[in-house]
């Protein structure tokens, strides 16, 4: 292998010195430490190759030694398990006096130079899907205000066939990024084994050459479809060649094509994109047979992984800590978990319709998602069996603690607990009041609670507001007495918590 690699480099250097620098064969021989006859031989081989092929890759006459059609070689290289060594061995079996492996590789390399950049690299069938956002944007006009709003183009391209998918989104957020992948897989009717983003910050939490951290949602989506996400390496331009060429094609054949058209909605824009996309995929290659869609049908499509039975539902992952009321807060709503997880760190999977909570990778709770701000969604099975003692806290203990501040503080806490369907839901407010005592002092907190009790506004927010505005410092005579609450069988008194 080392000898072949050196010979190949000698080939390139001889041709560079001959045709770019303009040296004679003897000068080249001295520079490369070769005999001038060897240099003459390599130059002759190069001339034979040049006369055998046009820039289009088509043969104009057969060389002295037969060569296979390079377009067919390029097509075979995309099939699983096929290597240039294997193709050369097959070629030599049919042509025992044909070119050596080194010369065979050189002719193939020279032929590939005439291809478009996006077609030069060889990828295995169904192996890689490249994804990225286009650098250029489209525009959507708000019909009521005339404002121009940007639309971002998501582009996905299969490595072997260059079959392309594109879709416009109103933003580059995680939901759009995931939806673009899902729609690309469905458009292609299957999934590539490897999905390669250009270290897009939406999908890659931390870009690293060796161990990039993927966004949990992106990782979950990949697992759902059976693909693996391998971002391009930083400072490695060759990793990005395919995706950059695909984006460039999309910008030229889609964005530039639609530049003079006006769109008033994302749906209208995407209809035009689908039409332009169909034209792009059906456009014949200049120097290869067929088009993107014909190559896709022949090479990539049979090798893709099957789509799963259901579409992936985009979900956002968050971290949370279980409060002493055994609820976690998500978007200002509170969802219960088993009470044994109080003070534990959990992960929350937030989907469109559901909220799932995981502890150490195991799902411990699932709820229907609610938009009720400040509301509670509680699974009865998550509550402790007795309200008399809940770990280190209980309603009775909270009221007893408040009594150490003063009778009005105890009354305020008791009223907060009474107004909740379950006393644990008042724990947060009670602990918040405890914190106010540390900030403003017990004396001021007792005075604020006295005003809150008389005005019947017992809540954490109200007591905090009284302290912040200094209303607790007003003389008691200025506080109007609140009407006495009527007796009711559903109101719990102090004895309930004993």
Interhelix angle 2-15/25-32, nearest 10 degrees: 140
**What's the rounded Cα separation, in Å, for the pair 160 and 127?**
8
pLDDT at 418: 80
Which residues in the chain are classed under CATH 1.10.10?
1-49
When pLDDT is averaged across residues 43-52 and rounded to a whole number, the result is 62
Q: How many CB atoms lie within 10 A of CB 450?
A: 20
Does pLDDT of 205 surpass 80?
no
Highest mean pLDDT: which of 24-33, 203-212, 295-304?
A: 295-304
| C-alpha span between 405 and 96 (Å, rounded) | 101
Evaluate if residue 180 carries a pLDDT over 70. yes
Query: Are 376 and 394 within 8 A, CB to CB?
Result: no
pLDDT reported for residue 64: 59
In the prediction, which pLDDT does 197 show?
87
0.75 cut: is pTM over it? no
Position 286 pLDDT exceeds 80? no
Q: Is the pLDDT score of 297 beyond 50?
A: yes
3-state SS assignment for residue 213: strand
In percent, the amount of the chain with pLDDT more than 70 equals 77
| pLDDT band of 204, cuts 50, 70, 90 | low
Confidence category of residue 386, pLDDT binned at 50, 70, 90: low
pLDDT of 455-476, one tens digit each?
888 888 889 888 988 888 887 5
- Region of residue 299 (phi > 0: left; psi between -120 and 50: alpha; otherwise: beta): alpha
- Residue 385 has a pLDDT of 67
Confidence band for 428, pLDDT divided at 50, 70 and 90: confident
| pLDDT at residue 257 in the model | 87
Report the alpha-carbon distance of residue 369 to residue 305 in Å, rounded.
33
In the structure, what pLDDT confidence band is assigned to residue 269 with cuts at 50, 70 and 90? very high
Distance of CA 104 to the CA centre of its chain: 42
- What confidence score (pLDDT) does residue 367 get? 92
Tens of pLDDT, residue by residue over 69-119, are: 777 777 777 766 678 888 888 888 888 878 888 778 877 777 777 666 555
Across 7-24, average pLDDT: 70
Instruction: Give the number of C-alpha atoms closer than 13 A to the C-alpha of residue 465, restricted to the C-beta side.
Output: 8
More confident residue, 191 or 123: 191
**Per-residue buried b or exposed e for 305-337, using 16+ beta carbons within 10 Å of the residue's own CB:** eebeeeebebbbbeebebbbbbbbebeebbbbb
User: What is d(CA 177, CA 131) in angstroms, rounded to the nearest whole number?
Assistant: 10
Q: Which helix (H) or strand (E) holds 150?
A: strand 148-158
The C-alpha atoms of residue 319 and residue 430 are separated, in whole angstroms, by 24
> Which of the pair, 394 or 269, is modelled with greater confidence?
269
Fold of 1-49: Arc Repressor Mutant, subunit A (1.10.10)
CA 384 to chain centre: 39
Model pLDDT, residue 357: 92
Taking the C-alpha atoms of residue 188 and residue 209, their distance in angstroms, rounded to an integer, is 29
CA angle 48, 50, 52 (to 5 degrees): 70
Reported CATH class of domain 128-303 = alpha beta
CB 195 within 8 A of CB 228: yes
Alpha carbons 345 and 351: distance in angstroms, whole number: 20
Contacts for 484-492: CB closer than 8 Å, 24+ residues apart: 485/456, 491/418, 492/418
Write down the pLDDT at residue 152: 94
Q: Distance between CA 479 and CA 455 in Å, rounded?
A: 8
Q: Give Cα 243 to chain centroid, integer Å.
A: 16
The model's pLDDT over 207-226, given as tens digits with 9 standing for 90+, comes to: 444 444 567 888 888 889 99
CA 288 – CA 285 distance, rounded (Å): 5
- What's the rounded Cα separation, in Å, for the pair 162 and 116? 11
Distance CA 304, CA 32 (A): 47
Predicted local distance difference test score (pLDDT) of residue 187: 95
Residue 192: pLDDT band by 50, 70, 90 thresholds?
very high
Which residues make Cβ contacts (< 8 Å) with residue 156, sequence separation at least 6? Answer: 129, 130, 131, 164, 165, 166, 180, 181, 184, 246
pLDDT of residue 210: 41
CB under 8 Å to 267, separation ≥6 — which residues? none
The pLDDT score that the predictor gives to residue 392 is 52
Residue 183 confidence (pLDDT) above 90: yes
What is the location of CATH 3.30.420.10 in the chain?
A: 128-303
Has residue 365 got a pLDDT over 50? yes
317, β-bridge pairs? 349
């Amino acid at each position: 292998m080392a000898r072949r690699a050196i010979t190949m480099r000698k080939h390139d250097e001889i041709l560079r010195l001959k045709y770019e620098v303009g040296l004679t064969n003897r000068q080249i021989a001295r520079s490369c430490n070769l005999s001038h006859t060897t240099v003459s031989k390599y130059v002759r081989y190069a001339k034979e190759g040049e006369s055998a092929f046009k820039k289009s890759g088509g043969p104009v006459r057969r060389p002295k030694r037969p060569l296979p059609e390079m377009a067919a070689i390029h097509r075979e290289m995309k099939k699983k398990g096929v290597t240039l060594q294997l193709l050369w061995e097959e070629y030599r079996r049919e042509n025992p006096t044909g070119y050596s492996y080194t010369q065979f590789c050189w002719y193939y390399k020279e032929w590939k130079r005439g291809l478009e950049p996006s077609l030069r690299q060889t990828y295995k069938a169904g192996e890689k899907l490249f994804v990225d956002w286009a650098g250029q944007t489209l525009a959507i006009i708000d019909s009521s205000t005339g404002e121009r709003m940007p639309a971002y183009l998501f582009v996905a391209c299969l490595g072997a066939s260059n079959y392309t998918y594109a879709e416009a989104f109103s933003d580059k957020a995680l939901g759009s990024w995931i939806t673009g992948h899902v729609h690309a897989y469905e458009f292609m009717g299957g999934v590539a084994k490897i999905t390669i983003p250009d270290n897009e910050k939406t999908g890659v939490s931390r870009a690293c050459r060796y161990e990039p951290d993927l966004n949990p949602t992106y990782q979950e989506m990949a697992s759902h479809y059976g693909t693996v996400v391998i971002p391009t390496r930083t400072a490695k331009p060759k990793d990005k060649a395919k995706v950059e060429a695909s984006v460039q094609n999309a910008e030229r054949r889609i964005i530039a094509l639609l530049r003079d058209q006006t769109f008033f909605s994302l749906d209208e824009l995407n209809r035009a994109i689908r039409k332009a996309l169909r034209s792009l995929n059906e456009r014949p290659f200049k120097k290869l047979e067929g088009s993107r869609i014909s190559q896709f049908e022949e090479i990539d499509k049979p090798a893709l992984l099957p789509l799963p039975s259901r579409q992936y539902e985009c979900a956002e992952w968050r971290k949370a800590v279980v409060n002493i009321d055994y609820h976690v807060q998500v978007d200002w709503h509170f969802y219960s978990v088993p009470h044994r997880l109080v003070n534990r760190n959990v992960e929350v999977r937030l989907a469109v319709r559901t909220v799932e909570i995981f502890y150490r990778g195991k799902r411990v709770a699932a709820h229907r998602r609610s938009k009720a701000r400040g509301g509670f969604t509680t699974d009865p099975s998550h509550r402790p069996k007795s309200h008399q003692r809940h770990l280190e806290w209980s309603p009775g203990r909270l009221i007893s603690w408040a009594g150490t501040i003063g009778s009005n503080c105890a009354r305020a806490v008791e009223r907060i607990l009474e107004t909740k369907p379950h006393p644990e839901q008042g724990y947060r407010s009670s602990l918040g009041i405890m914190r106010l005592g540390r900030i403003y002092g017990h004396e001021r907190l007792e005075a604020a609670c006295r005003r809150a009790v008389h005005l019947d506004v017992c809540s954490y927010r109200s007591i905090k507001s009284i302290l912040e505005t200094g209303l607790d410092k007003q003389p008691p005579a200025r506080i109007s007495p609140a009407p006495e609450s009527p007796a009711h069988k559903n109101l719990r008194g102090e004895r309930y918590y004993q």
